[in-house]
Amino acid sequence: MTSQNIENISEMGIFQSLKEVIDPELYVNIVDLGLVYGVILTKDPLSVKIELTLTSKGCPMGDAIIQDVEQTLMRLYPGLTVNVELVWEPSWSMDMVTDEGHAAFNGF
Amino acid sequence: MFNQGTNRAPSANSVIPFFVLSAVSWLIGIVFIAFNPDSVLISVYFNEVMLTITHILVLGFVTSVIFGALFQLLPVIFLQNIYSEKLTKSIFYLLLFGTIGLCFSFYFDSNGIGLTVFGSLLNIAVILFIINVWKTIGKSKENKVAKLFIKTSVVWLALTAIAGLLLAINFLIPFLPFAHLELLKVHAHFGIIGWFVFLIIGVSSVLIPMFLLVHNLESRPLYFAYVLLLSSLILGGISKVISIPTLMYISYGLGVLGFIYYLNFIHVVYKMRLRRKLDFGLKKTMIAFPSLIVVIIGSIFFIAGFQTDFNLSAFYVIVLIVGFIATLILGQFYKTLPFIVWLKIYKPFVGKEKTLLPKDLYNYTILKYQFYSHVSGFILFFASLLLNLISLFYIGIGLLMIGAVLFLINVMQIVFHQKQTL
């Protein structure tokens, strides 16, 4: 499973994998929340840069979310170097939330 | 790794005791009120039981949780390291023993020596707290409005503590050149408006928009609120000391306007919120704000000289503490304590395995019933004060007590949570 992940690694695959990361306050995954702005994969050496935003600059759960992104990807893709870059432009808004995110958001 | 703030906070073990003390004090305070209806309904101002209840609530319940929450939140809000963890722990013990000793001293005939000794302990706690807060905030350029309100609030806390100590010493050796009741009123208003309200406005100006997902807010109404409330407090203090009634009217007018500006800010946040559906922790937070309207009306009626069975100035102070401050705190408990405990227990495992979420650390049904019993309880309790109805008083305080017990159950469930594997 893991070696297959590495062989078939792609930006879209990594993006989908990030659905495992849940915002601990909003109970919605960060992909459907629209927090993942970019996934840039480099194959040699194997590394990925995740451009991530947060719903607010002083989000108390920011550290935990960043750690979750790093650890989740390192667990799913052993050997992959993960760099998370926090970005604030464009600032996050509800327009970035997917339909699934909206459904989860209001279903609590 | 980019440090977003929680890594700069003190360890969970040094802030959790503040939350436990607060939750226990809330229940004790409510039980005291329930067993002493006469002290509350009849001779509300200056009696030993009322002073005991007030200090259990303002020191044990409110100040304790504010201290704990601030030590956790300041590093997040201002992106600074906490200045000293050792100070954080010392402050807790000083606050704990100071509060217990002071309340016992009040309860047993307002013992002057006890009041002075334990009042001094509390003054030391306040000095250490101010050092920890000012040094932590430092020269941070983040959240300027919050910084202004929080820094000012701790100055008012210092003035409140000093006024309290002067009153205690005056019990031992009467030395005040004016009626000590006037200094007591100043002490109460400095503490409740200057310390609690300024602090709450500062912190809520960051947290409420953050939880409700609102960005790019106009900060001018908060600056207006700041100037108005500050002027109100200063003029109010002067009017008491040098007995100029006109100044007191101006002071009340400015204070009411300041509250209106703050309420308007919160109203705008609520209207603009992207998070439409609120959980019960946030519902409880938001339901605190309408009680400020009752405070405003109560204070206007008081200053206009309306006569009611119950002293209106005591009424609006009780609504401010039990309706606004306590309700806000009981709601925000669920937005702080579960996260602190969750970070302590689950952060090392985040991403490595499936973990519970902070909301899984407490019983949501208990929170729901706590919400209903607290809100219905405080409405009936306030009505009983105004109407002087003892039966309504018992129903209201009974509901508040049920809410306080449910709250304590949830708090203990969070605090004693053990790691679970999914």
pLDDT one digit per residue (tens) for chain B, 422 residues = 344 555 667 889 999 999 999 999 999 999 999 998 888 777 656 688 889 999 999 999 999 999 999 998 888 888 788 888 899 999 999 999 999 999 999 998 778 899 999 999 999 999 999 999 999 988 777 788 999 999 999 999 999 999 999 999 998 888 888 778 888 888 998 999 999 999 999 999 999 999 998 888 888 999 999 999 999 999 988 887 787 888 989 999 999 999 999 999 999 999 999 888 888 889 989 999 999 999 999 999 988 888 877 778 888 888 999 999 999 999 999 999 999 999 999 999 999 998 999 999 999 999 999 999 999 999 999 999 888 889 999 999 999 999 999 999 999 999 999 999 87
Nearest CA in chain A to B345: A64
Residues of chain B neighbouring A56 (CB-CB closer than 8 A): 209-210, 213, 215
Residue with tokens 């436990």: B20
Does residue A104 lie in a domain region?
no
Does residue A105 lie in a domain region?
no
Contact B351, A68 (CB under 8 A): yes
Q: Does B213 touch chain A (CB under 8 A)?
A: yes
- The CATH number of residue A34's host domain is 3.30.300.130
Does residue A106 lie in a domain region?
no
Tokens of A43: 């194959």
Nearest CA in chain B to A75: B352
Does residue A80 lie in a domain region?
yes
Partners of A41 in the beta sheet? A48
Does residue A19 lie in a domain region?
yes
Interface ipTM: 0.87
Nearest CA in chain A to B142: A58
| Angle, CA of B137, B68 and B360, to the nearest 5° | 120
Q: Which residues contact A103 (CB under 8 A, 6 or more apart)?
A: none
Length of chain A measured in residues? 108
Does residue A103 lie in a domain region?
no
Cβ burial, residue B180 (10 Å; 0-12/13-18/19+): middle
Does residue A63 lie in a domain region?
yes
Please state, in angstroms and rounded to a whole number, the distance separating the CA atoms of residues B189 and B192. Answer: 5
DSSP H helical segments within B213-279, as ranges? 220-242, 245-272
Does residue A50 lie in a domain region?
yes
What angle separates helix B48-55 from helix B12-35, to the nearest 10 degrees?
A: 150
Q: Which of B52, B50, B49, B59 is nearest to B24 (CA)?
A: B59
State the average pLDDT for chain B.
90
B338 prior amide bond cis, ω within 30: no
Q: Does A13 touch chain B (CB under 8 A)?
A: no
Over range A38-48, report the average pLDDT: 92
Tokens of B333: 């408990």
Where in the sequence is the domain holding A14, given as residue range(s)? 2-94
A33, A61, A68, best to mutate vs chain B, most B CBs in 10 Å: A61
Please state, in angstroms and rounded to a whole number, the distance separating the CA atoms of residues A57 and B142. Answer: 10
A90 prior amide bond cis, ω within 30: yes
**CB proximity under 8 Å: A 23-82 to B:** 24-27, 54-64, 66-72, 74-75
Number of domains in chain A: 1
